[in-house]
Structure 1
């Protein structure tokens, strides 16, 4: 595993700020009416009413026809087609939320059919929870879209109309035959906004409406976000199934890579050495009668080769699963790894018991990989390893005082390590500013325990 510890994080040395930490001169409350986000959210609300009407009409028509005709052979196909169309509307709504609300909602689980043909497809559509959640969305969205449309349009229109009243109040005396905007009138009394004070107050009220409207619209779209995410996105169960399928692929790929590494190490190392040893012993056997001294030297060389081959096999076995880890646990195993590191390492393990063997093995290899990184790339003079338990999680932390700059970008060794941890519901967090120090924290599920020996 190799990690480039010299990469930075997009830090601007002249400004002293990261690219994502730019400051605004105006506070959020004053710039909200002019931000692109506010206008995108307003566009989402305005489009919601016609889309809600079409969606509601389609849903009610198709489902009513399909349910009413269930007694005939066309009811089920019609209902399945209607629900399939609603799934298409759901995809459109996810795209609209992604474009205008910047809400990235994953697609729900696809239709799963064991057989081909129209009957299997109709059965999959009718049994899919996504189809019925989309129907519920279609029924709920119309009343909500009417409410949000009315609130948003009235607040926006009133706010900007009152704010710009000083610019157009002259229309009333010139074309309407009255002094200004009438706010009250009966047979004997009329109140108009026509003097400078009243016009100024009107504009100030309009300013308050204008500044408040983007936040009101934002609150309305929060409900839309919840509806899209909850009814049109994947359920927690389906998302978990997809995650487990992805993790299973990572585990399979990792196991295959480990098998290839072991095979390569055996073929290029111990196996080649043992083949050469067998040939040397064969030659020594032939020379045993003719030249006993030469045969003795060859046997002595073969003895050295046997020791080297045994050491390689021990190292290979330690790389697969060290015996000290099985017999004595993480404390002794990590101490053994630390003793082979190129820099002094302080190891502290505070565990009341031992986790499950699989988790214990992953923790061991995680620390081994990180210490190997420190030896190769960190240019550190000191490192530390801490292991402890927090509730049902096993925590690991490896610290060094090296050059820093480590990250989990694609293709790096840390990225592969993060994928391995993610496959068992683990987390890898890297804090490594350029110049150091580097702090890598790993979190693993506990998953059972054994008594500490």
Structure 2
């Protein structure tokens, strides 16, 4: 694993506004996009609702014959097609980015398999439910938004068009009240001003009302037109399983390479040297004794290589004495002084303990190779249902998961067990890496 250090950090520049958000809202592009979404929702929902109710009712009625199944499948297929439109509309006008639902699972191609997959798909029925739920909501949102929006702007601009009433209608202004005996018109300067102020309140309030209405639309799109939490979790677990399998395969290849190039090659050479020593034992005992002595040294080296290899697989000190002793042993081999603090009420599960050990071990190796640090520290503690690891150093900084393949691989390994890797490493240091793992108590 290699941690890359470098520069090139940027800062997001903030943009200030002179007007408060409440005064800007009626003129912002976001407000008009949201209002446009509400306007479009009514005709779209009418078509979608009509399609769904007609086709589902027709298909249900025809289920006594074989024709009901293809009609129901066509109804659900149409709903999924409208779902594509609705996700695109929400993405373009509301900024709500919803992933596509899980694809149809067909064991074999063909019309019958396609219809069966549609009818068995929970996502298809959620699309149909969206058509039924969204229609009444779209009618309500359209009525409220249009009413408030037109009243607000109409009253706000009343001073500009109130002259229409005396000029063309024969009245003093907009009629506020009237019966057979008495009428009240908004026709004097005070009433016109109050009317405009009421319109201003409506105009300033309507954008936030529309935003609340479209928030509900966003929730409907996310909840009914996107992937279900269960299917998303299945996809995540499948990805994590692939990561675990790839990591295990890479570890096996590394162990095989170390055995083949290290201890195995040394033991083969040792066997040959002992064979030569055996042949020379009678002819030249002194030379044979020297060769045996050299072979003894090779045995010691091979044993040390095997110990190092076994430590890389799973160190005995971790099994026997836990994280505190194992991490202290790793820290003693680091090229910079490392302070180790382990505060755990009990030992975690062996699998979590092993992942924690190798995570800290790889981070300390990176500190030795790349950080140019003078000191480092390792802290381990439990926070509710999480095992927390923190490795810090005062080196040059610049570590980045996006650029460092080693850090990216370590993050993928942690993610495979629902862990998280966070890196805070500004240019110039210091570097702080926090790893979170799920806490699972040991036996």
TM-score tier by shorter-chain length is over 0.9
Moved more, 427-436 or 35-44: 427-436
1:358 matched residue in structure 2: 351
Asked whether the 8 Å contact 2:4–2:403 carries over to 1, the reply is no
Structure 2 SS opposite 1:70:
helix
Tell me the alpha carbon deviations over residues 412-445 of structure 1, each in whole angstroms, 9 at most, x when there is no partner.
3222111111111111222223333222221111
The answer to whether 1:9 aligns with 2:5 is: no
Does residue 57 (structure 1) correspond to residue 50 (structure 2)? The answer is: yes
CA distance in 1, matches of 2:408, 2:142: 46
Which residue in the other structure is 2:340 paired with? Answer: 347
Residue range with higher mean Cα deviation, 175-184 or 285-294: 285-294
Give the Cα–Cα distance (whole angstroms) in 2 for the partners of residues 392 and 304 of structure 1.
Answer: 49
Does structure 2 conserve the Cα–Cα contact (< 8 Å) formed by 1:8 and 1:433? no
With over 3 angstroms needed to count, the CA separation of the structure-2 counterparts of 1:201 and 1:403, relative to structure 1, is: farther
Correspondence for 1:206 among 199, 205, 209: 199
Instruction: Provide structure 2 residue ranges, at least 5 long, that are not aligned to the other structure.
Output: none
Query: How far 1:446 sits from its partner (Å)?
Result: 1.9
Once the two structures are TM-superposed, the CA of residue 287 in structure 1 deviates from its matched residue by 5.3
Q: Give 1:117 shift.
A: 3.0
Using the size of structure 1 for normalisation, the TM-score is 0.91
Matching residue of 1:193: 186
1:384 pairs, out of 362, 377, 381, with 377
CA RMSD, Structure 1 to Structure 2 (Å)? 2.2
Residue 281 of structure 1 and its aligned partner are, at CA, apart by 4.2
Q: Is 396-405 or 355-364 further displaced after alignment?
A: 396-405
Distance across 2 between alignment mates of 1:121 and 1:38: 41
Partner SS state of residue 354, structure 1: coil
Q: Does 1:107 align with 2:107?
A: no
CA distance in 2, matches of 1:122, 1:66: 13
Unaligned runs of 5+ in 1: 12-17
Task: Work out the CA distance in 2 between the residues paired with 1:207 and 1:8.
Answer: 48
SS at match of 2:17: coil
* Change in 2 beyond 3 A, CA 1:440/1:70: same
Among 70, 80, 88, the alignment partner of 2:73 is: 80
Alpha-carbon distance in 2 for matches of 1:39, 1:429 = 39
Q: Superposed, which structure 2 residues align to 1:256-295 within 5 Å?
A: 256-285=249-278, 293-295=286-288
TM-score w.r.t. the length of structure 2 is 0.93
How far apart are 1:202 and its partner, in Å?
2.4
Q: 1:15 matched to which residue of 2?
A: none
Tell me if structure 2 keeps the 8 A contact 1:402–1:438. yes
**1:246 maps to what in 2?**
239
Q: Residue 346 of structure 2 contacts residue 441 of structure 2 at CA under 8 Å; is this kept in 1?
A: no
2:151 maps to which of 144, 158, 175: 158
SS in 2 for 1:265: helix
Map of 1:323 onto structure 2: 316
Most deviating of 244-253 and 379-388: 379-388
The CA distance in 2 between the partners of 1:145 and 1:236, in whole Å, is 25
Q: Distance in 2 between matches of 1:406 and 1:33?
A: 44
Distance in 1 between residues matched to 2:303 and 2:28, nearest whole Å: 70
How many residues in Structure 1 have an aligned counterpart in Structure 2?
A: 443
